[in-house]
Structure 1
Amino acid sequence: MCTLLFAWQVFEDAPVLVAANRDEALGRPSHPPGIYGENPRVIAPWDEEAGGTWIGYNEFGVSAVITNRWLDADLAGERSRGLLVGEALERESAEDAARFVERSVGEFEYDGFNLALLDENAALLLEWDGGLRVRNVDPGVHVVVNVGADGEFEIPPERAEFGERQAESARQARQELQPEPGERSAEWHERAAAVLRDHDYGFCVHAEEYGTRSSSLIRAEKNGATSYRFADGPPCETGYEPVEP
């Protein structure tokens, strides 16, 4: 997963709105969203090669989304980051999930990541580069990419040109997605989806062996209901379909 857009505590009827693209090797097998876990019930897609997931939600209203984080140094990456996300989604709150991740990175070494953990009461961004930074994010619109989030970017020198373009796209997307007067949550969600498929931002990736494999829209409502729409392909050419596990 390489691009995450989310609105937290912006709209009264839907405190959590997520829009995210997953970029991956085109030949790597994955399974579309379904029942990832039963106790608690977790709805998520999953990677068939290494296991784990990159995005999902659970019956307690916790959503989790991970992106790669580009680093100067190589980490051992001894354990799949997807397994970390799946295990975080076994927790009853975003705060509990964050505490679990803090323990897990003390036990295992993962490749670099940005991990958003969201529920109605808390939104946390966990940034791992060999050390873990945990920050509570304020109500608002947030954009997470490989080089950072919300204007705080760390760009590796070997990816300087591409990283700078990505950071600028993230700044522009965050500005573009500020709520408009009288805007409803569903309208904002559609605007976020449009940004994900707009090639001017570069979030929908097409390369010879790598690209945007799927796109996800998750909506957690005030009444506790959560819905998920999934595009099983690049969103510029693939429609979003409701996930009905």
Structure 2
Amino acid sequence: MCTFIVAWQVFPDAPVVVAANRDEALDRPAHPPGVYAENPRIVAPWDEEAGGTWIGYNDHGVVAAVTNRWIDADLAAERSRGLLVADVLERESAEEAARFIERSTDRYEYDGFNLVVLDENAALLLEWDGRLRVENLDPGVHVVVNVGADDRYEIPAARPEVGERQAENARRAIEKLQPEPGERAEAWHERAATALRDHDYGFCVHGDVTEESSADQPEANASGRGFGTRSSSLIRTESDGKFTYRFADGPPCRSEYEPVDVQV
């Protein structure tokens, strides 16, 4: 996943509101959202190749999502980042999850990642590029992309133009997605979904771009054919503390968001 948008403690009716696109190889098998695990119950899609996930939530009210982090270092990638997200979703709180990630990155060298963990009381951004940085996010709107988050971007030397463009797109999205007076969580969520499918932001990437159209989608051109936005997720808490999850099984510019039903 390469884009994660969150509104945390912005709306009284929904303290956690997230919208995310997953970018991945088009031929990598994946399972749509369902019950990933029990005790605690984890609702998430999952990668059928490595077995992990890139986004999900659990019965304790914890939400987690990961993006790749573009870095110049060549890390060992001893363990899948998706398995780390799955481990995180076994925790009872965002704070406990952050402590677990600190222990796990002491034990394994992962490939670069930006990992966001949220519950109603805490929101944390954990950035890994061979060393771990942990930041407490303030209430508000945040946009996480491959080069960083919230105007703290690190552009890799290997991708200078695409990295700068991605950072600028994230800045524009944050400005555009500031809550409007009296706006409720559901309406804001739809605006976030619109940003995820808007090619002007570069968040919706297509691996089937032609040479003529690639200038409008530099991220796809840089990644090469066979890579693009595979799915999109909209998750938010409701007034009863439970979650609403809608999932687009494909790029959101082409695929409709459908409710995820995990009722027994």
Q: Does structure 1 residue 101 correspond to structure 2 residue 84?
A: no
d(CA) in 2 for partners of 1:184 and 1:155?
35
SS in 1 for 2:84: helix
Match of 1:238 in 2: 255
One-letter code aligned to 2:197: R
* Superposed displacement of residue 223, structure 1: 2.5
d(CA) in 2 for partners of 1:5 and 1:94?
17
Match of 1:218 in 2: 235
Given that 1:9 and 1:16 are in contact with CA atoms closer than 8 Å, whether structure 2 keeps it comes out as yes
Percent of pairs with identical residues: 74
Given that 1:120 and 1:222 are in contact with CA atoms closer than 8 Å, whether structure 2 keeps it comes out as no
One-letter code aligned to 1:238: S
SS in 1 for 2:205: coil
Count of matched residue pairs: 245
SS in 2 for 1:134: strand
Which residues of structure 1 form unaligned runs of 5+?
none
One-letter code aligned to 2:158: E
* Superposed displacement of residue 222, structure 1: 4.0
One-letter code aligned to 2:16: V
d(CA) in 1 for partners of 2:50 and 2:88?
17
Q: Does structure 1 residue 55 correspond to structure 2 residue 55?
A: yes
SS in 1 for 2:23: strand
Match of 1:153 in 2: 153
TM-score relative to the length of structure 1: 0.99
Q: 2:245 aligns with which of 220, 228, 241?
A: 228
Match of 2:15 in 1: 15
Which residues of structure 2 form unaligned runs of 5+?
208-224
Given that 1:75 and 1:130 are in contact with CA atoms closer than 8 Å, whether structure 2 keeps it comes out as yes
d(CA) in 1 for partners of 2:148 and 2:6?
14
* Superposed displacement of residue 50, structure 1: 1.0
Show the 5 A alignment for 1:79-90: 79-90=79-90
Show the 5 A alignment for 1:21-170: 21-170=21-170
* Superposed displacement of residue 120, structure 1: 0.3
SS in 2 for 1:50: coil
Given that 1:230 and 1:243 are in contact with CA atoms closer than 8 Å, whether structure 2 keeps it comes out as yes
d(CA) in 2 for partners of 1:132 and 1:193?
30
SS in 2 for 1:90: coil
One-letter code aligned to 1:158: A
